[in-house]
Amino acid sequence: MPRTRTLDTATLDAAAKHYAVEFLRPDVKHPNGKGKFIKGPAYVMQDFFNFFYKDEFEYLLTKIRGQLGPDTLAEFNALAAEKFTPRDDAVLAKLLADNLAITPDGDHIPGKIGRSNMGSRIVGKRLDNQDQIKNNYWPIYAGEEEERAANSGVADPLPPTTPKA
């Protein structure tokens, strides 16, 4: 069975450049006053909590370090050591299972559907609020296609399709 996730290094390379530049800026909080940072080292550290997968986390960390000069790298490493520690492999495996329904090796977990929306399928047509005919979409979650193919009964039934207009 094909693996459902690959490491998108091109996107991560661009993200590493972005974070390296942001690390050199002063800290700026969002003007709404809710405490989120939108620039600076605090923003970079804050965003690292959004990387749930070990391979992404480690790849990005290495690439950011490669973008920084020696003085800034020392500052980055000190702040990183203070703000986060690598997650335990069991925690990372649980995140993969919960979000993508895969093992750390990338294999689908039979009987499981993840929380991540992987796309959508057209299940019919509908009228919008201006009486225009639009496609009606149904989300596809990680592992759902494998469960449908296995006819496991884990996936919600698709809604009845409506005739094409």
What does the domain layout of the chain look like in residue ranges? 9-87
Q: Is the pLDDT of residue 129 over 50?
A: yes
Using pLDDT thresholds of 50, 70 and 90, give the confidence band for residue 131: confident
In sequence order, what are the residues at sequence separation of 6 or more whose Cβ sits closer than 8 angstroms to the Cβ of residue 103?
Answer: 93, 96, 97, 109
pTM beyond 0.75, yes or no: no
Question: Is the pLDDT higher at 158 or at 109?
Answer: 109
d(CA 82, CA 113): 35
Summarize pLDDT for 68-118 with one digit per residue, the tens.
Answer: 999 999 999 999 888 877 678 888 888 889 988 988 888 899 999 999 888
**Residue 5 pLDDT:** 62
Amino acid at 161: T
Q: Is the pLDDT of residue 2 over 80?
A: no
Residue 119 structure tokens: 């796309």
